[in-house]
Amino acid sequence: MDRSILFVHAHPDDESIGTGATMAHYAAQGARVTLVTCTLGEEGEIHVPALAQLEASQADQLGGYRLIELDRACAALGVADHRFLGGAGRYRDSGMMGTPANEHPRCFWRADLDEAAGHLVEIMRETRPQVLVTYDANGFYGHPDHIQSHRVAMRAAELARAEGFGPAKIYWGAMPKSVLEAGLDAFKDSSDNPFGEATSVDDIPFGTPDDEIAACVDGTDQHEKKVASLHAHATQIPDTSWLYSIAGNFGDEFMGVEYYTLAYGERGPGDGAHGWEADLFSGLDA
Ligand SMILES: CC(=O)N[C@H]1[C@@H](O[C@@H]2[C@H](O)[C@H](O)[C@@H](O)[C@H](O)[C@H]2O)O[C@H](CO)[C@@H](O)[C@@H]1O
Ligand SMILES: [Zn+2]
């Protein structure tokens, strides 16, 4: 079987933060890895002072710059096939939930679901992914573009199935509560606490019980590519980011191991305490 996997993400940087090691892992294996990013990230922060005037309320050029950052990140991960949903600039970054950017006429949060899903079905028709990776219904942490990416990806898979070429397995990025627990302990006395005021994993708006996790992809041997892809997104992820400090505390494993729940399809053979699959294609290779 020629392996093909499709990742659907909301903004430039999500692919590296959430699935960078997994993408590098399968690209290195020679699988067809396709990334679809739904917006250009026009409403993002800018952590590079020299670029500050690109922001939405000034030159409004951040989207064009993040397109370049994403190109660099994909090169670092070894991912050659990257597309924007509906073409670059079709859907605008909607901003955080409840902000005025949610009202922009072209924002992704206001997109027509079937029209947006139709763009993704065309890509599925071409690449025929056996595996689809996106976010859960909360978009992992509740950002409107992440929630919409979930909705569009799941609708596209449903439409593709109706035409006989939908992905056999659909995964949602996840973080086991046991991993969050370990992180909380490591940072509870730190001024650089990425968990803010959280005193328990239940205070954190994401996290999945370990027995609900279906797959754990160990891309530790790809962790340097993930770090390089994060650095490519310098406007969003400053060198002082907690992502790097937590990696410093936990080492290569933090950057290299990524977790998923299985939203659709049959769980393949797994191992360890919870029988987690080590391969997202588990059970599919003929
Ligand atoms: C990882 C991710 O989805 N980033 C989004 C997010 O960025 C957040 C936003 O700028 C917020 O104002 C900050 O406080 C927070 O730290 C950022 O993570 O939302 C942006 C606007 O929609 C988006 O461009 C960015 O990619
Ligand atoms: Zn995002």
Average pLDDT estimate for 193-207: 84
Instruction: Assess contact for 58 and 64: CB atoms under 8 A.
Output: no
Q: How far is the CA of 45 from the centre of ligand 1 (A)?
A: 7
Q: Which domains does the chain have, with CATH numbers?
A: 4-174+216-275 (3.40.50.10320)
pLDDT in tens, 30-62: 999 999 999 999 999 999 999 999 999 999 999
First to last CA, the chain: 6
Strand bridging mode 257-264 / 169-174:
antiparallel
Q: Is 14 annotated as a binding residue?
A: yes
Q: Full-prediction pTM beyond 0.95?
A: yes
Tens-digit pLDDT profile for residues 146-167: 999 999 999 999 999 999 999 9
Atom index in ligand 1 nearest the CA of residue 62 equals 24
Residues touching ligand 1 (Cβ under 6 Å) are 11, 13-14, 17, 41, 43-45, 93, 95-96, 143, 236
Q: How far is residue 109's CA from residue 145's CA, in Å, rounded to a whole number? A: 6
**In what helix (H) or strand (E) does residue 35 lie, and over which residues does it extend?**
strand 32-37
| Angle ∠(143,209,256) on CA atoms, nearest 5 | 70
Compute the average pLDDT of residues 245-262: 87
Q: How far apart are the CA of 273 and the centre of ligand 2, in A?
A: 31
3-state DSSP helix/strand/coil % of the chain, to nearest 5: 45, 15, 40
Contact 90, 152 (CB under 8 A): no
**Residue 184 and residue 182: Cα distance in Å, rounded?**
6
Please check the confidence at residue 284 and state whether its pLDDT lies above 70: yes
d(CA 6, CA 82): 10
Beta bridge partners of 6: 34, 132
Q: Which residue has the higher pLDDT, 150 or 240?
A: 150
Q: Which residue has the higher pLDDT, 149 or 250?
A: 149
Does position 135 have pLDDT exceeding 70, yes or no? Answer: yes
Residue 146 annotated in ligand binding: yes
User: What ipTM was assigned to the predicted interfaces of this complex?
Assistant: 0.99
CA distances from 217 to 23, 25, 78 (A): 10, 8, 17
Give the atom of ligand 1 at the shortest distance from the alpha carbon of 96.
Answer: 22
pLDDT of residue 286: 59
The answer to which of 85-89, 207-211, 221-225, 251-255 has the lowest mean pLDDT is 251-255
Q: Which residue has the tokens 């002082």?
A: 240
